[in-house]
Every structure is written in structure tokens, then in C-alpha cells.
């Protein structure tokens, strides 16, 4: 298995102390942790994209450009690129530029995003989100794989003889499809033979398993080699302690305070927005969060693998107010005590 670190660059007050770092300090932290992830042997580092809510990830291309300049090996992903609200021409140009700067280390994860407010912000109809995503992604595919593109669609003016520059570094970058609650993304990924990235962040495991099963079934129906149906999985945060008891004692207060802080009453009952795992015991036992001793976390990731058959596991360390040093220490423990065991038990040829 391969491992990725994801930051959606949350910028909410600490759930217990109320402290809020400056925007400059929070962004510097993301870059420092990205450098540490490469040093510790992680395979990828991802930056999210949010245009509403308490986040500083409205410009992932800028952050990824800074990371490209400060790293040499680690793959740089998005998590996600909200292609439904963007101009595909601009996406093609920006990420091909990043692909050139990083010498082929860029991959996109596209999705509709998890903040309801960004469609209004860009003057778009949220009810058409899946139509927007499909059309804009399919144009992006053509812009990266073809030159002199002629195109007509519904959501932007026609193109005549367009070749975006720069071209990608060494062929079309891999594009994953982020999948959280709907069959639309698994269907689009399967149709084009692309990999799937399941959110695996809030809902019970069976909900994500249903989406992955649909993806694998359709992938083969569309005539693609099932061996190429790569799947990645997120997680609901990573918190490591020496024992299960220490994990509960050390992290209960901050975990449950963050759950209360992030609760969105206007989205109550809508899948994918409010975690049902409101106590730390629930989170450890049944939720996607990776909380506990190293062995507990190994067992949970292998349990994900049994259900999902995934190649790439994403972890997040900046969701509970940990300092930069604490985030780096957590990633170091994961890299030393957890990753080698899981890599051996669940090998993957992704990126090899």
C-alpha cells in the first residue's frame, strides 16, 4: 500500500483553547509538514480546495507550487480540485504548469467539493453540480490529450482550435475521482477508466463500500482491465498513542470538541456532512478516524483494505489542533511503526 498526507488547510479556532494562528503561520505549517512527509518516506502529499467555510485552501495551485519547489520526490495531489466551479481551460493551464515545475509529480483528484456554499459564490446552480462536473472534466481530458481542440458545451463559450500551454510534463497526469455520497463520481471514473478516491471520512464503511463496488462493476462493464481499477481511501484523522487507553484519555476532549465545533445544523441528516461518530469510543470502534495504538491503526487500515481493496491510504494530522511538531511526530510514528507493516500485508504496484 502507498500512503498520502492530506491537508484541507482548516483555519478554525482550536476546539479547546480558542487560539487561531495567523493565515501566514497556518500556511507555513502546511508547507513544513509537506516537507516532513517527503523526508519521512510518504508517497504523496495532497492539498484540498475549499471556497467556503473556515479554510485557507482556496488556491491549492499556489500551495502546490511552493511544495514543488521545496520537495523533490513526493507526488503532489489535490484533494479535491472542485472542477465543477472552475474553468477547464484555466485548470489545464495551471496544473500543467505545476506538472512541469514538479517534473511530472502532479495528479488531480476531482470532485464537487464538500462545502455547499461555493456554487453560489461562483454564480452556479448547485442542482446542476453533476452536469457541471461531467462536462468540465471531459473538456479537461481533451485539453490535456489533444491539440487544436474544437469544443461546444453548455457551461462555457465554445472553443475553436485551442491548444493549452504548457503541455503536461510527460503525458496526461492521472486524474482520480473523489467519491463521498453519490454514484455519479464512481460512474464517471469507471466510464473513462480512471481511478477512484473514496472519502472514507464521515459515513460508515458500508456506505463507501457500496460506491466502490459500483465503480469496480462499471469499470469492467466499460471494457477496462479490472487490474487497473485503482482505489484510494481517506480517513477521519490520525491520532496515535502507545495504548488504546492512552489514546482515549489523551484525545477524547479534543476529538469530541472538534466534532461539536464542526457540526452543521443546516445540513443535519444530509449524507457526508456531519459525522455520526460523536464520541471517541464510537470513532475508534466503527468510524474511519485512525485513533489508537499503532496496532489498532494497522488493524483498521487492513480492515479498510479488506472492504475496499485500495492501493493508497490518505491520512490527515492537522484536523485536531496539533502543533507542527506534534503533527510531524505523529507522521514519524506512522512511518516507522505502522506503514511498514501495512505495506507488507497489502502490497500495491501503484506508482511503480
Contact predicate 290/233, CB 8 Å: no
Tell me the pTM.
0.96
**Tens digits of per-residue pLDDT, 180-222?**
999 999 999 999 999 999 999 989 999 999 999 999 999 999 9
> Which residues contact residue 225 at a Cβ distance below 8 angstroms, ignoring those fewer than 6 apart?
none
In-domain check, residue 324: yes
Q: Is 106 exposed, middle or buried (0-12, 13-18, 19+ CB in 10 A)?
A: buried
> Which residues contact residue 226 at a Cβ distance below 8 angstroms, ignoring those fewer than 6 apart?
216, 219, 220
In-domain check, residue 85: yes
Asked whether residue 223 carries a pLDDT value surpassing 70, the answer given is yes
In-domain check, residue 252: no
In-domain check, residue 337: no
- Dihedral angle computed from the Cα positions of residues 146, 152, 157 and 163, in that order, rounded to the nearest 10 degrees: 10
**Tens digits of per-residue pLDDT, 87-136?**
999 999 999 999 999 999 999 999 987 676 789 999 999 999 999 999 99
In-domain check, residue 154: yes
In-domain check, residue 88: yes
Q: Which ranges of the chain would DSSP assign to H, the alpha helix? A: 23-39, 60-70, 88-101, 118-121, 129-145, 184-192, 205-221, 244-262, 280-286, 294-308, 324-333, 339-345
Range of the domain at 139: 2-236+309-328
Q: How many domains does the chain have?
A: 1
- Domain CATH code at residue 321: 3.20.20.30
Contact predicate 189/177, CB 8 Å: yes
Contact predicate 43/312, CB 8 Å: yes
CA distance 283 to 106: 32
**Tens digits of per-residue pLDDT, 158-178?**
999 999 999 999 999 999 999
**Tens digits of per-residue pLDDT, 333-342?**
999 999 999 9
pLDDT for 271: 76
Amino acid at each position: 500500500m502507498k500512503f498520502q498526507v492530506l491537508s484541507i488547510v482548516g483555519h478554525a479556532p482550536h476546539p479547546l483553547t480558542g487560539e487561531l494562528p495567523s493565515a501566514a503561520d497556518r500556511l507555513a505549517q502546511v508547507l513544513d509538514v509537506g516537507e516532513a512527509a517527503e523526508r519521512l518516506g510518504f508517497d504523496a502529499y495532497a492539498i484540498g480546495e475549499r471556497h467556503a467555510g473556515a479554510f485557507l485552501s482556496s488556491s491549492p495551485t499556489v500551495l502546490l507550487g511552493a511544495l514543488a519547489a521545496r520537495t523533490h520526490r513526493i507526488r503532489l495531489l489535490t484533494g479535491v480540485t472542485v472542477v465543477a466551479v472552475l474553468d477547464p481551460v484555466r485548470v489545464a493551464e495551471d496544473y500543467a504548469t505545476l506538472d512541469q515545475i514538479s517534473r511530472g509529480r502532479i495528479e488531480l483528484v476531482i470532485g464537487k467539493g464538500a462545502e455547499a456554499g461555493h456554487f453560489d459564490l461562483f454564480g452556479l446552480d448547485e442542482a446542476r453540480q453533476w452536469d457541471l462536473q461531467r462536462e468540465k472534466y471531459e473538456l479537461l481530458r481533451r485539453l490535456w490529450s489533444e491539440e487544436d481542440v474544437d469544443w461546444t458545451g453548455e457551461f462555457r463559450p465554445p472553443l475553436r482550435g485551442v491548444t493549452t500551454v504548457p503541455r503536461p510534463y510527460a503525458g496526461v497526469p492521472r486524474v482520480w475521482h473523489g467519491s463521498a455520497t453519490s454514484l455519479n463520481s464512481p460512474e464517471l471514473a469507471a466510464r473513462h477508466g480512471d481511478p477512484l478516491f473514496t472519502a472514507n471520512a464521515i459515513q460508515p464503511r458500508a456506505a463507501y463500500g457500496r460506491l466502490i463496488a459500483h465503480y469496480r462493476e462499471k469499470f469492467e462493464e466499460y471494457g477496462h482491465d479490472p487490474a487497473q481499477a485503482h482505489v484510494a481511501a481517506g480517513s477521519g484523522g490520525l491520532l496515535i498513542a502507545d495504548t488504546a487507553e492512552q489514546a482515549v484519555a489523551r484525545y477524547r476532549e479534543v476529538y469530541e470538541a472538534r466534532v461539536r465545533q464542526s457540526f452543521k445544523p443546516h445540513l443535519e441528516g444530509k449524507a457526508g456532512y456531519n459525522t455520526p461518530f460523536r464520541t471517541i469510543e464510537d470513532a475508534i470502534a466503527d468510524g474511519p478516524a485512525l485513533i489508537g495504538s499503532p496496532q489498532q491503526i494497522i488493524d483498521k487500515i487492513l480492515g479498510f483494505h479488506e472492504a475496499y481493496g485500495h492501493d493508497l491510504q490518505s491520512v490527515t494530522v492537522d484536523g485536531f489542533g496539533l502543533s507542527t511538531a506534534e503533527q510531524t511526530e505523529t507522521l514519524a510514528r506512522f512511518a516507522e511503526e505502522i506503514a511498514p507493516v501495512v505495506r507488507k500485508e497489502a502490497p500495491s504496484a501503484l506508482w511503480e
